[in-house]
Structure formats: structure tokens, C-alpha cells
Chain A
Amino acid sequence: EVQLVQSGAEVKKPGESLKISCQGSGYSFSDYWIAWVRQMPGKGLEWMGIIYLRDSDIRYSPSFRGRVTISADKSISTAYLQWSSLKASDTAIYYCARLVDIVATPEIDYWGQGTQVTVSP
């Protein structure tokens, strides 16, 4: 069974750093892509970026480039999303999702359960 298990909820202060994780199981982790998606309170989904686990090719959405860092450790089947200096506006649920080449370009099939990040003074 394919599973993406994300790290637990975080409460941080503005200016602090944070790294959240997404561990895949039930499939060959390196053969797929992992995406990160933000959902701010009461709002829609926003594409943040994507990493190909085989060669760590990373592509950021222009809206998030420079604000977050996506990385992965293939040895433990885990992808990461990190901030060096959080802002209150980073308060959101962050989802990871697996992408697979079904037809001709990677497309999402499975999602993680989400990680709630709260940034408050």
C-alpha cells in the first residue's frame, strides 16, 4: 500500500527555522516525484514545487522560489520542505503528494495527510 506520512504539527515564532518531512512507503521512492502544496486557512491549493527523487532535480513555483527549500534523502525515502525564517503568513497546512509518469508527464496520484504549520509571536 502506497503511503505518504508527514511529520506532525508545528508551532513556531516569526523568524524561526523549520523543516517538515514526508516519508514514502509501499513503493520504490526514487522512481517518483514528490510535490509540496500549500493550503492557507480557508483557502485553495497552491503549487510550491517538485523534486525528482532519482536525481534531486528540483523545480520551484515562482511564488515560492527563494522562500522555501525542497530536498530529499533517498536513503530514508523522505522528502523535506524547509524555511530559514518563518513569517506569520507561512501559517498553513502543507501537503506532500506523489507524482508518477502515467502518460507523458508526472501527475499526482497519492497525497500525504498534511502538516499544520502555525507561526505566531
Chain B
Amino acid sequence: QTVVTQEPSLTVSPGGTVTLTCAASTGAVTRAYYPNWFQQKPGQPPRALIYSATNRHSWTPERFSASLLGGKAALTVSFVQPEDEADYYCLLYYNGARVFGGGTKLTVL
């Protein structure tokens, strides 16, 4: 089964920009992996942010953008707000299976 790897933790200052990445043990992440990104705050269910690698849901703030970068899926948060502090998970689809990454704890400090 594919192993999906994310940075365990990242810290960013309010107003700054941070990029989270998502790598697959099977090789370069492409659009065929349909990368999804989710945000989860303490005590809450996850919330979908990004689908099909680069597309925001209607409720996703424009400061969240996603791309494929250097063989990985990437989520960039620009003009970071205090409320962006959360855990972020990617989900990859590969060979009929879906696997979550371990998650990135984003601290806004």
C-alpha cells in the first residue's frame, strides 16, 4: 500500500506564507492521484479544502491554493490568519485505493 508523507509540523507567522507538501512512496504525485486537502481543527471534523490537485471548494478561502510541485502535491496558505492554525491532511488516490498522509500540524505564531 502507498505510504503518503507530510511534514509533521510547520510554524508560520501571521500574514506570512507557508507551503505544506504531500509525497507518495510510489513516485511522483501527479493529477492522476487526485490529491485532496483537508483542514481539521481540534474537536471538529475535517473540512474539505481542495480537490483534484488544484481546485478549491466553494467555501475554501482564496488564500488557500494548491499545486503539484517537485513531484509532490502542495498546499500553500498565503496571508496566514490565526484561525488557520490546524492539522492539514492530504489524501491520494492510487491504483483504486485511497490513503491519507500523516498530517501536518500548522502553528501560527
B51 touches A107 (CB 8 A): yes
The one of B1, B96, B103 in contact with A45, judged by C-beta atoms closer than 8 angstroms, is B103
Determine if A88 is an interface residue (Cβ-Cβ < 8 Å): no
B19-27, B40-48, B66-74 - the one binding chain A: B40-48
B99 touches A114 (CB 8 A): no
Count residues on chain A whose CB falls below 8 Å from chain B CBs: 25
Determine if B97 is an interface residue (Cβ-Cβ < 8 Å): yes
**B46, B47, B98 pick with most chain A CB within 10 angstroms:** B98
- Chain A residue nearest to B40 in the complex (CB): A45
The one of B1, B48, B91 in contact with A109, judged by C-beta atoms closer than 8 angstroms, is B48
Contacts of B51 in A (CB 8 A): 102-103, 107-109
In A51-65, the 8 Å CB interface with B consists of 59, 61-63
Chain B 76-101: CB-based contact to A (< 8 A → 1; otherwise 0)? 00000000000101010100111111
- Assembly CA distance A10 to B46 (angstroms): 21
By secondary structure, the A interface counts as strand
By secondary structure, the B interface counts as strand
A91 CB to closest chain B CB (Å) equals: 17
- Chain A residue nearest to B51 in the complex (CB): A107
B36 touches A44 (CB 8 A): no
B104 CB to closest chain A CB (Å) equals: 10
Instruction: Report if A103-B89 is in contact (Cβ < 8 Å); known contacts: A44-B100, A114-B45.
Output: no
A107 touches B89 (CB 8 A): no
Instruction: Report if A103-B52 is in contact (Cβ < 8 Å); known contacts: A47-B91, A50-B98, A108-B38.
Output: yes
The one of A59, A61, A111 in contact with B48, judged by C-beta atoms closer than 8 angstroms, is A111
- Assembly CA distance A44 to B86 (angstroms): 12
Question: Closest 6 interchain pairs by CB?
Answer: A44-B103, A103-B52, A107-B51, A111-B45, A45-B100, A47-B98
Known: A61-B99, A108-B51; 5 extra A-B contacts, CB below 8 A, are A45-B38, A47-B99, A59-B96, A105-B34, A113-B45
